[in-house]
Amino acid sequence: MRVLITGCHGQVGCSLTEQLTKDANTEVLALDRDSLDITNQQAVKAAVAEFQPTIIINAAAHTAVDKAEEEVELSYAINRDGPKYLAQAAQDVGAAILHISTDYVFEGNKLGEYAESDTTNPQGVYGESKLAGEVEVAEACGKHIILRTAWVFGENGNNFVKTILRLGATRDTLNIVGDQFGGPTYAGDIASALIQIAKRIIQGDAIEYGVYHYSGLPHVSWYEFAEAIFSIAVDKGAITKKPSLSSITTEQYPTPAKRPSNSCLNTDKITRVFAVEASDWKVALANIQVYTG
């Protein structure tokens, strides 16, 4: 298996690179934005033609949700055009492309979990550009897996877990949004899911290409997630005391970009097709000391 990874310094990209480089049967080319600008079509085509991957995993994205409202062209360049060029290059060399997308492609007001077949209706530039990327990938490469996920956290990069622990170390009280719900998802588990799918493709199995949802369980609010983070941190000795938390509404915490109130993704399809189980974020937080550095 020859795997080309883009966005190798991101949360999922780091985990992918770490896990795949331990596999003696896999040759990995891990690229960051400095070594490959995915918005440069010729650069993408040349890199793929030279390496001849069997799998391309696109973990590169413009994920700054609020900045995207101002950086519209940049968001579309990275989230739509880059994936399109990667998918076209994958098609050219007969590779499969695994592309990471987001819950933000949905409006976020449904009652219950979102299925892959539900109507998309993004509410901001980030979601719109990511949905445009999904469309381009699907059109450009027949062998494509689009993996929508949500609330990603991991040892690398910035995320809610690190932010909340940092704030908790200096403040006695914290206000946390309690009316947005989703499934926190460990980056290492996303990487493992993608690798499991990649191996099935390489084995020559009959693959049901298309869109899949992958995120964590149980579904919680940001407030409930924060409560769990601090409880685990105290229990594991990562912090000495838990700050007092107050649940607030989305209206009380305005942001430039609208956040979905419901980011709960149904993961039954990926379990049925690939035997990939939902991420257990409580297990992922067991080594919580790594998030407090």
Question: pLDDT tens digit string along 268-277?
Answer: 999 999 999 9
**pLDDT, mean over the chain:** 95
Q: Which two tokens stand for residue 51?
A: 């390496």
pLDDT at position 221 over 70: yes
User: What confidence tens digit (pLDDT) does each residue in 94-148 have?
Assistant: 999 999 999 999 999 999 999 999 999 999 999 999 999 999 999 999 999 999 9
- Is 10 inside a domain boundary? yes
- Is 136 inside a domain boundary? yes
- Is 91 inside a domain boundary? yes
pLDDT at position 248 over 70: yes
pLDDT at position 157 over 70: yes
Please say whether the beta carbons of 128 and 69 come within 8 A: no
- Is 235 inside a domain boundary? no
- Is 39 inside a domain boundary? yes
The one catalytic residue in 76, 85, 114, 126 is: 126
Cis peptide before 218 (omega within 30 of 0): yes
Count of domains forming the chain: 1
Q: Name residues whose C-beta falls within 8 Å of residue 206's C-beta, 6 or more positions apart in sequence.
A: none
Domain containing residue 211: 2-157+184-216+265-279
Please say whether the beta carbons of 237 and 166 come within 8 A: no
Q: What is the pLDDT of residue 293?
A: 63
The two beta strands, 144-149 and 96-102, are parallel
How far apart CA 130 and CA 41 sit, in angstroms, is 18
Q: Which of 30, 44, 47, 19 is nearest to 194 (CA)?
A: 19
Q: What is the pLDDT of residue 119?
A: 97
SS3 100: strand
Confidence of residue 234 (pLDDT cuts 50, 70, 90): very high
Strands (DSSP E) contained in the chain are 2-6, 27-31, 55-58, 96-102, 144-149, 152-153, 173-177, 181-182, 185-186, 210-213, 216-217, 220-221, 244-248, 262-263, 279-280
How far apart CA 209 and CA 146 sit, in angstroms, is 8
Strands (DSSP E) contained in 32-143 are 55-58, 96-102
Percent pLDDT > 70 in the chain is: 100
Which H or E run contains 73? Answer: helix 72-76
Average pLDDT over residues 36-61: 98
Instruction: Give the C-alpha distances (Å, rounded to integers) separating 92 from 83, 95, 210.
Output: 14, 8, 19
Q: What is the DSSP string of 192-258?
A: HHHHHHHHHHHTT-----EEEE--EES-EEHHHHHHHHHHHHHHTTSSS-PPEEEEE-GGGS--SSP
Q: Is 209 exposed, middle or buried (0-12, 13-18, 19+ CB in 10 A)?
A: middle
**Does residue 291 carry a catalytic annotation?**
no
Q: What is the pLDDT of residue 82?
A: 98
Select the highest-mean-pLDDT range: 39-48, 152-161, 250-259, 281-290.
Answer: 39-48
CATH number reported for the structural domain that contains residue 88 in this entry: 3.40.50.720
- Is 178 inside a domain boundary? no
Q: φ, ψ for residue 257 (rounded to 5)?
A: -105, 140
Q: Which two tokens stand for residue 22?
A: 């331990």
Please say whether the beta carbons of 86 and 7 come within 8 A: no
- Is 242 inside a domain boundary? no
- Is 212 inside a domain boundary? yes
Percent pLDDT > 90 in the chain is: 92
